[in-house]
Amino acid sequence: MSNGEKVTIRKLPTGVPGLDEVLGGGIPEYSFNLIAGGPGSGKTTLAHQILFANATVERPALYFTVLGEPTLKMLRYQQQFRFFDLEKVGRCIHLLNLSQVVLEQDLSQVLASIARDVDAANPAFVVVDSFRTVTRAARPGEMELQSFVQRLALLLTSWQATSFLVGEYVESEMRDNPVLTVADGILFLTQAVERNSIVRKLQVVKMRGQAPVPGLHVFRITDDGLQVFPRLHVRLPAVREAKEDQRLPTGIPGLDEMLGGGIPQGDAVLVAGPSGAGKSLLTTQFIAEGASRGEPGVIAIFEEQIGDYLANARTLGFDLDAMIRSGDVRIVYLRPLDLSVDETLYELQERAAAVSAKRVVVDSVAGFEMALAPTFREDFRESLYRLVGALTGGGMAVLLPTEVTESFLDLRFSPHLVSFLADDIILLRYVEIEGRLRRVIAVVKMRGSRHSHEIREFEITGSGLVVGEPLRGYRGILSGMPVPGDGLTQAPFPGLTDREMLVLRAVTDAEEPTVPELARLTALRRPALTLALDRLVALSYAVRVKEGDHLVYRRA
C-alpha cells in the first residue's frame, strides 16, 4: 500500500426510492445488516427489493427462508410487486429453506449449513428471513446466540457477501440484543394503524462508516414496493443566514406600501382572516403578480378541487389556467387522508424546484392539517414548521392563508408557534363602522423590518383587492366593533397579556427606553416588568439592544 490511500467503501443502491439518501448513499458493500420490525412491517419486501435491484447471474443472492412465512406463500405474494422479476428467481436469486436444520439441529449446524451453501454459490448477497425464528428455535445450552451471530457475520463478511438478517423485533427488544452490536447497519421498520390509515416509518438505527439522516422517515408500500420520503433537515430560524432584503411585491399597491415594498424573500407569511375575507384572493394575486414578473409560483391546495380553485380565481379576474400552461404557476393538489408531512414536503419541493419557484402558497394550513393522517396530526405543529422551514430555507416566500374566526386571539396556534412559524402576519377583518360592514387589512407583524402599523380599509373588485386609505379616528378596530378614538394604539398583539401590551406600548412610544425608564412609564415593578420584556423579546415583538453600557428596548 502506498500514498496512505484509504479504502473506498462501495455503496450499493437499494433500489428503494429515497432510501439511499436516508442511508447516506446506499448500503456499504460487505456490510452485515439487520432489517428489524414487527409483523407485516415490510421487512421481506424491503429485502426482496434490494436483492432484485442488485443480484445478477455473476453476483447472485442467496435467500434463506426459515420457519416463518412459507416460501411458496412468500413467492406468491412478493411476485405481485413490480420489482419482482420472475426471470431472476433461480438464476440470480436462489431461495433456500433452512427449517429442517433449525427444527432438528442446533445453531452450529445451522451455521454449517449456511456455510456450505455460501461456499457453493459464492453469493454477493445473503438474506436470512427471518432471523429471529432461527434463534428462537434453538435449544438452550447449545451454541450461544451471540457467538452464532458473530460467526455468521464473520463468515458472510469473509465471503464478501453483503448480508441482511431479517428479524421480527418490536421496539422494546431492540435494546441489549447481541445482534445489534454485531450488525454494521440496522434498519427498523414500524407501522402504526390509526382508524383507516396505516403510517409506516423507517429508522436507520445505525449505519457504520457513513452518516444516515437521523429520525423516522415515512415510507409507503405500493405495487412498486417501498418508497421512502426522507425527512429533511431544516435550519432553525435562529441560524437562518441574513438574507438580502429583496421584496416580492404582492401586486396590491396599498399593501406593498404597508409592507415596505412587498413580502421579503424567504419569509413565511400568515394571512389570517375570517372566511370570505379575501385570503385566497390576496394569495392568488401574489402568485399572479409573480407570474407577470417572471417569478414562478406554486399553489398547494388541500381543501378544494383544482377545478374549483381555478374557476374561483377566474371569477376574480385571474387566468391561472394560462399561467399554468405557460409554466409560470404549478398547482399541487394534495388530499389523501394518510398523507404525511414528508410526502407533502417531497411533493411540494419537487414541484417548487421544477419551476424554480419564488412564491409558494399553501392554501390552507387547516386543510394541510386535515390532510394528514391522525398520527401525523399529533406533531402537526412540528410538521408545519418543518414544511415552512424547508421552503423558506430555499429562499421562497411562503404565504399561509389561515382562517381565524372572531378575534385574532382565537388563532388556533399558540402565539409562540405563530411567532416561530410566521415571519410576518397580515390580518384581514370585517369591522362594523357606523352600521356598515367594512373590510380592513393590517400588517400585524414583520420580523426584522419596519412596516406600517396602519389599519386600512380595502375592497374586493373585479381586478382584485384594492387597498384604500388608513382608517383613522377609531379605536379597537380589530375587535370588529371600533369606537371613535386613536386606532393605532390598539393594534392587535396575539397572545399578549394586558400587562405585556402595556409594556409594548411603552416600548413603542418611548425612544428606545431602558428598563428604569420603562418602569417609570408603566408603573410596573422589576420582576413583572422584566418578565414581560422577556416574553416580548421571545415572541419577537421587541428587541433588546445594547446601547453604550446599558440595555434599551425597541419595537421589533
Partner 1 sequence: MGESPQAVRAWVREKLIREAGENGPPATMAAAAEHILRPLSAHLARLVGDAGFEALLARAVALARREVPALCADPGGGQEGLVQCLREMEGEHVCGSATAVVTALVDLLASFVGVDLATSLLREAWPDLPEMGDGAERAGDT
Ligand X SMILES: Nc1ncnc2c1ncn2[C@@H]1O[C@H](COP(=O)(O)OP(=O)(O)OP(=O)(O)O)[C@@H](O)[C@H]1O
Interaction site with Mg ion (CB under 5 A) = 44, 69
- With CB cut-offs between 5 and 8 Å by kind, which of ligand X, partner 1, Mg ion, none does residue 221 bind? ligand X
- Any contact of residue 113 with partner 1 (CB under 8 A)? no
Minimum CB separation of residue 168 from ligand X in Å reads: 5
Buried b (16+ CB within 10 A) or exposed e, 409-419: eebebebebbb
- With CB cut-offs between 5 and 8 Å by kind, which of ligand X, partner 1, Mg ion, none does residue 322 bind? none
Cell 386571539 belongs to which residue? 409
- With CB cut-offs between 5 and 8 Å by kind, which of ligand X, partner 1, Mg ion, none does residue 97 bind? partner 1
Beta-bridge partners for 361: 299, 399
Of 38, 59, 69, 99, the one binding partner 1 by CB under 8 A: 99
**Using CA atoms, how far apart are residues 480 and 35, in angstroms rounded to an integer?**
59
Minimum CB separation of residue 65 from ligand X in Å reads: 10
Beta-bridge partners for 540: none
Minimum CB separation of residue 15 from Mg ion in Å reads: 17
Of 14, 31, 33, 44, the one binding ligand X by CB under 6 A: 44
- With CB cut-offs between 5 and 8 Å by kind, which of ligand X, partner 1, Mg ion, none does residue 89 bind? partner 1
Minimum CB separation of residue 129 from Mg ion in Å reads: 6
**Using CA atoms, how far apart are residues 173 and 35, in angstroms rounded to an integer?**
13
Total Cβ atoms within 10 A of residue 446:
23
Minimum CB separation of residue 223 from ligand X in Å reads: 4
- Any contact of residue 68 with ligand X (CB under 6 A)? yes
Distance of CA 31 to the CA centre of its chain: 30
**Which cell goes with 541?**
415583538
- Any contact of residue 121 with partner 1 (CB under 8 A)? no
- With CB cut-offs between 5 and 8 Å by kind, which of partner 1, Mg ion, ligand X, none does residue 39 bind? ligand X
Minimum CB separation of residue 101 from partner 1 in Å reads: 9
Residue nearest to Mg ion (CB): 44
- With CB cut-offs between 5 and 8 Å by kind, which of partner 1, ligand X, Mg ion, none does residue 264 bind? none
Minimum CB separation of residue 460 from partner 1 in Å reads: 53
Q: Which residues contact 264 (CB under 8 A, 6 or more apart)?
A: 243, 245, 246, 247, 248, 397, 423, 424, 446, 449
Q: Which CB atom, from 82 or from 243, has the smaller least distance to ligand X?
A: 82
Sign of CA dihedral 524, 416, 513, 547: positive
Cell 382572516 belongs to which residue? 273
Q: Which of residues 422-481 bind partner 1 (CB under 8 A)?
A: none
**Using CA atoms, how far apart are residues 387 and 392, in angstroms rounded to an integer?**
9
- Any contact of residue 37 with ligand X (CB under 6 A)? yes
- Any contact of residue 109 with partner 1 (CB under 8 A)? no
- With CB cut-offs between 5 and 8 Å by kind, which of partner 1, ligand X, Mg ion, none does residue 54 bind? none
Residue 360, φ and ψ in degrees, nearest 5: -130, 140
Of 5, 87, 104, 223, the one binding ligand X by CB under 6 A: 223
Q: Which of residues 168-227 bind partner 1 (CB under 8 A)?
A: none
Site string for ligand X, 151-190 (x = CB under 6 A): -----------------x----------------------
DSSP characters over 401-434: EEE--SSGGG-SS-HHHHHHH-SEEEEEEEEEET
Find the helix or strand (DSSP H, E) in which 248 lies. Answer: strand 247-248
Q: Which CB atom, from 44 or from 280, has the smaller least distance to Mg ion?
A: 44
Of 9, 13, 29, 40, the one binding ligand X by CB under 6 A: 40
Site string for partner 1, 56-85 (x = CB under 8 A): --------------xxxx-xx--xx-----
Minimum CB separation of residue 99 from partner 1 in Å reads: 4
**Using CA atoms, how far apart are residues 307 and 392, in angstroms rounded to an integer?**
28
Tell me which stretch binds partner 1 (CB under 8 A): 90-98, 130-138, 405-413, 446-454.
Answer: 90-98
- With CB cut-offs between 5 and 8 Å by kind, which of ligand X, partner 1, Mg ion, none does residue 172 bind? none
Of 53, 96, 198, 306, the one binding partner 1 by CB under 8 A: 96
Total Cβ atoms within 10 A of residue 168:
18
**Using CA atoms, how far apart are residues 286 and 291, in angstroms rounded to an integer?**
9
- Long-range contacts: 531-540, Cβ < 8 Å, 24+? 532/497, 532/499, 532/500, 532/502, 532/503, 533/503, 535/496, 535/500, 536/496, 536/500, 536/503, 536/504, 536/507, 538/416, 538/419, 539/415, 539/416, 539/419, 539/495, 539/496, 540/419, 540/445, 540/447
Kindly tell me the burial class for residue 321, based on how many C-beta atoms sit within 10 Å of its own C-beta (0-12, 13-18, 19 or more): middle
Buried b (16+ CB within 10 A) or exposed e, 219-229: bbbeeebbbbb
- With CB cut-offs between 5 and 8 Å by kind, which of Mg ion, ligand X, partner 1, none does residue 216 bind? none
**Using CA atoms, how far apart are residues 491 and 477, in angstroms rounded to an integer?**
8
Minimum CB separation of residue 189 from ligand X in Å reads: 7
Of 9, 53, 95, 370, the one binding partner 1 by CB under 8 A: 95
- Residue among 182, 161, 232 at smallest CA distance from 392: 232
Q: Which residues contact 62 (CB under 8 A, 6 or more apart)?
A: 94, 96, 117, 118, 121, 123, 125, 126, 127, 161
- Any contact of residue 45 with ligand X (CB under 6 A)? yes
**Using CA atoms, how far apart are residues 83 and 88, in angstroms rounded to an integer?**
11
Of 10, 39, 82, 90, the one binding partner 1 by CB under 8 A: 90
**Using CA atoms, how far apart are residues 153 and 30, in angstroms rounded to an integer?**
10
Q: Which CB atom, from 112 or from 192, has the smaller least distance to ligand X?
A: 192
- Any contact of residue 97 with partner 1 (CB under 8 A)? yes
- Any contact of residue 222 with ligand X (CB under 6 A)? yes
Which residues make up the interface to partner 1 (CB under 8 A)?
Answer: 70-73, 75-76, 79-80, 86-87, 89-90, 95-100, 103
Which residues make up the interface to ligand X (CB under 6 A)?
Answer: 37, 39-45, 68-69, 168, 221-223
